[in-house]
Amino acid sequence: MLSALILVPFLVIIFLNLPLKGLRKLAFPTAAGLSLLQIIFAAFYPALFWDIQRDFLSTFFNFRFSFDAFSQMMLIAIGLVLFVSLFVARFTILDELKRFYFVNLLLLAFIGMNATVMMQDLFSLYLFLEVTAIASFIMISIHKDKLGLEGAFKYLLLSAFATVLMLSSIALMLLFSPSLNFAVIKAVVMGSPGSFIIKLSIGLFLCGLLIKSGLFPFHWWLPDAYSAAPSAASVFLAGIVTKTVGVYVLMRLFISFFGYVGYLQQVLMFIGALSIITGALLAMAQSDFKRMLAYSSISQVGYIILATGCATPLAFAAAAFHLFNHANFKSLLFVNAACVEKRLGTTNMQEMGGLGAKMPVTSITSIIAMLSTAGIPPFSGFWSKFLIVLALYAAGNYFYAGLALLASILTLAYLLTLQRKVFFGQLKAGLEGIREVGPGLITPQVVLALVIIFVGIFFPVVLHNFILPLQNIFIK
Amino acid sequence: MTIDYILLTILLLAVIWTVMTIRLIRAVVGLAIVSVIVSIIMFRLSSDLAAVFELSVCAGLISVIFITTISFTSRVSKERLRIRRKERLSKFWALPIIIIAAIIILSRYHPSLNIMLTHAVPEPDVRKVLWNMRHIDLMGQVIILLVGVFGVVVLFKEGRK
């Protein structure tokens, strides 16, 4: 049934755009229903996906997808962030036609990401990365304002550069591998891991992915794109898009064949550590809500890359788990930013202060997201960071383990600054009339906060059902 | 073999000209020349279908779209043009040297990166490969087209007043 994850949203888009009256009004509930179905099936009925006997669609469509615990976790995260972004779009994009197009673009990016997390062929993977990227450019610039167009242009420019690197890498790979299937490339790479051309092609692809992930030193497009995008697009981009097209693909290729090239582990760990520190330090210097969150993203993705480079089963599982948690808490923080922006009309933190009393739900959920980001128990982020530090320590990387621990203090410092400037303290003059956002925007905040709390408190359940199977993928 | 070297040299010169020239129209012409040379190289490598696609889509269609778009822009003054050309040259003078040096060094010191063109091994019919084995790539291309349509509608269609 894996093909359904592509075909059903595709058919929904075609249906919604039929020249019939009233279909536009169906766009939001249909897309929300699709995202919920994906979460439910991926979380509770995963056998439905990998049971080939039930896959009658494969008779007609030979998509050659594969499904494992990592894909499962990503499918849940993609569904969850789409659901939340739809709510934010519903209540922040006021023009009905624009909102309709935005939902269509969200669904197209959703297809791109679903395909990406199930792909086993490098060229097809590249194709769907492009689907997601192009949909994202349009979403960022949907209002056609100067900032949005500038952000989208920077993203487009860097993404095009990443595309050139990836395509060059694919061309080089075809010189030494008869096919672009991961298993075939793996066999070739294992046969001659020291070959210059193999190292070059993998290095080029890696650079492309680092750009797409927004990691240091390829990060400069990311704060502009996140802060210039409409709120719903920021949530979607920061929550899942860059995590899927950059970080997930990097991790997937690392366990598939990148990891057999010796030098790569040290390179990834170094870049990860550098991103953690640089992202956190730059976040501290920001006065814009969304830009601070964007730099925070760079720092948090650094943790994931650092753990991936550690290359042990526990480190890989911890990295994948942090990727999932990051999708939750960063989406929640961006939804908080969207709510504040909706009420105040700005994301400049200098113009905010004391909003906690006026917007209690936004304030409380942002504290939950902040504590989870900083790795404070019992929230979900604590467990993934704890596992990362544990894995680094167990593998003998004491310096990186210490650095990851210390960087958590930096994370807490800039997020506390954010809280102090936005929600704590005395109410800023002129903000007396501000009130909490409506139930439409409260819903996504509460949903994400509950996921963070649930994953944190019921960690043994999550560990047994989702994290331990991740280790098996790495071992295999 | 000499013809391959000549083609690759023209290709390299056209690429450098495309990115170094200050006039958009000239850049587009440079790009079209690149596509034509790439098509000839593909024909020589027995990849006829790829060559036809390259020639019709890149050298033909895309060049027409570029030139149509550029025709909507306005000219800059000669003085401004002269300043920008000077700026461009002062910024990127090293680019051609770096590219040519990199190619010479890589081809000389890494025999695995041989720039000699080798003919493609006969593959199964491309149409059969696409329709029977690469369903997902076809699907991907359909979806990219759909995203493009939404892009044009969202960014270029003016709302009814």
Q: What is the ipTM of this complex?
A: 0.87
Measured between CA atoms, the residue of chain A closest to residue B147 is: A135
Q: Token pair for residue A435?
A: 């009130």
Task: Pick the closest to residue B51 from B33, B64, B36, B32 (CA basis).
Answer: B36
Confidence (pLDDT) at A218: 86
**Lowest mean pLDDT: which of A75-89, A216-230, B29-43?**
A216-230
Do B79 and B146 fall within a single domain?
no
Look at the alpha carbons of A185, A188, A193, A197 in this order and tell me if their dihedral is positive or negative: negative
The range of the structural domain enclosing residue B131 comes to 125-156
Number of CB pairs, chain A paired with chain B, less than 8 A apart: 73
State the average pLDDT over residues A168-195. 88
Any A CB within 8 A of B149 CB: no
Do B29 and B85 fall within a single domain?
yes
Do B29 and B81 fall within a single domain?
yes
Whether residue B116 is contained in a domain is answered as: no
Confidence (pLDDT) at B108: 72
Give the mean pLDDT of chain A. Answer: 90
Distances (CA, A) of A17 to A13, A98, B146: 6, 14, 11
Do B71 and B149 fall within a single domain?
no
Whether residue B119 is contained in a domain is answered as: no
Measured between CA atoms, the residue of chain B closest to residue A113 is: B140
Main-chain phi, psi angles of A288, to 5 degrees: -105, 130
Do B92 and B150 fall within a single domain?
no
Any A CB within 8 A of B58 CB: no
Interatomic CA distance for residues A125 and A131, integer angstroms = 10
State the average pLDDT over residues A108-128. 93
Which residues in chain B are contacts of A108 at CB distance < 8 A? 143, 146-147, 150
Interatomic CA distance for residues A181 and B31, integer angstroms = 32
Contact A131 B143 (CB under 8 A): yes
Residue B1 pLDDT class (50, 70, 90 cuts):
low
Do B129 and B101 fall within a single domain?
no
Interatomic CA distance for residues A258 and A273, integer angstroms = 19
In the stretch 178-207 of chain A, residues with CB closer than 8 A to chain B read 195-197
Which residues in chain A are contacts of B135 at CB distance < 8 A? 61-63
Do B101 and B139 fall within a single domain?
no
Q: Where are the domains of chain A?
A: 263-476
Main-chain phi, psi angles of B114, to 5 degrees: -80, 125
Confidence (pLDDT) at B59: 77
State the average pLDDT over residues A414-422. 91
Interatomic CA distance for residues A31 and A27, integer angstroms = 6
Burial of B145 (0-12, 13-18, 19+ CB in 10 A): exposed
Which residues in chain B are contacts of A195 at CB distance < 8 A? 112
Which residues in chain B are contacts of A107 at CB distance < 8 A? none
Confidence (pLDDT) at B110: 66
Which residues in chain B are contacts of A101 at CB distance < 8 A? 150, 153-154
Q: Is A382:A375 a contact under the CB 8 Å cutoff?
A: yes
Residue A287, pLDDT above cutoff 60:
yes
Residue A31 pLDDT class (50, 70, 90 cuts):
very high
Testing the interface with B: which of A2, A3, A104 to mutate, by most B Cβ within 10 A? A104
**Helix, strand, coil abundance in chain A, percent, nearest 5:** 80, 0, 20
Alpha helices in A179-312 (DSSP H): 182-191, 196-213, 221-228, 231-236, 242, 249-256, 264-284, 289-310
**What is the number of structural domains in chain B?**
2
Which residues in chain B are contacts of A123 at CB distance < 8 A? 137
Question: Where do we find the tokens 């704590």?
Answer: A424
Whether residue B161 is contained in a domain is answered as: no
Q: Is A250:A166 a contact under the CB 8 Å cutoff?
A: no
Residue A168 pLDDT class (50, 70, 90 cuts):
very high
Separation in Å, CA of B78 to nearest CA in chain A: 28
Testing the interface with B: which of A103, A131, A155 to mutate, by most B Cβ within 10 A? A131
Question: Where do we find the tokens 């993998």?
Answer: A202
Residue A54, pLDDT above cutoff 70:
no
Residue B150, pLDDT above cutoff 60:
yes
Q: Token pair for residue A244?
A: 């899927």
Q: Token pair for residue A147?
A: 């900032």
Q: For B8-39, what is each residue's pLDDT tens digit?
A: 889 988 988 888 888 888 888 898 899 999 99
Whether residue B150 is contained in a domain is answered as: yes
Contact B146 A115 (CB under 8 A): no
Burial of A265 (0-12, 13-18, 19+ CB in 10 A): middle
Contact A63 B137 (CB under 8 A): no
Contact A108 B134 (CB under 8 A): no
Task: Pick the closest to residue A237 from A371, A164, A338, A318 (CA basis).
Answer: A338
Residue B161, pLDDT above cutoff 50:
no
A149: number of CA atoms within 13 Å, CB side? 7
Question: Where do we find the tokens 């509770």?
Answer: A44
Rg of chain B (C-alpha set): 20
Q: For A318-332, what is each residue's pLDDT tens digit?
A: 999 999 999 999 999
Q: Is B12:B100 a contact under the CB 8 Å cutoff?
A: yes
Do B8 and B43 fall within a single domain?
yes
Separation in Å, CA of B49 to nearest CA in chain A: 17
Whether residue B115 is contained in a domain is answered as: no
Interatomic CA distance for residues A419 and A421, integer angstroms = 6
Separation in Å, CA of A197 to nearest CA in chain B: 7
Which residues in chain B are contacts of A128 at CB distance < 8 A? 140, 143
CB contact set of B149 (below 8 Å; sequence gap of 6+): none
Any A CB within 8 A of B153 CB: yes
**Lowest mean pLDDT: which of A81-95, A249-263, A370-384, A410-424?**
A249-263
State the average pLDDT over residues A374-389. 93
State the average pLDDT over residues B120-142. 74
CB contact set of A63 (below 8 Å; sequence gap of 6+): A2, A3, A6, B135, B136, B139
Main-chain phi, psi angles of A121, to 5 degrees: -130, 130
Which residues in chain A are contacts of B143 at CB distance < 8 A? 10, 108, 111-112, 128, 131
Do B98 and B19 fall within a single domain?
yes
Main-chain phi, psi angles of A181, to 5 degrees: -70, 140
Measured between CA atoms, the residue of chain A closest to residue B154 is: A142
Residue A57, pLDDT above cutoff 70:
no
Do B31 and B62 fall within a single domain?
yes
Do B134 and B99 fall within a single domain?
no
In the stretch 110-129 of chain B, residues with CB closer than 8 A to chain A read 110, 112-113
For the CA atoms of A116, A8, A470, A248, the dihedral, rounded to the nearest 10 degrees, stands at 20
Interatomic CA distance for residues B10 and B8, integer angstroms = 5
Residue B159, pLDDT above cutoff 60:
no
CB contact set of A11 (below 8 Å; sequence gap of 6+): none
The full DSSP string for chain B is: -HHHHHHHHHHHHHHHHHHH-S-HHHHHHHHHHHHHHHHHHHHHTT-HHHHHHIIIIIIIIIHHHHHHHHTTS-PPPHHHHHHHHHHHHHHHTHHHHHHHHHHHHHHHH-TTS--S--PPPP-S-HHHIIIII-HHHHHHHHHHHHHHHHHHHHHHPPPP-
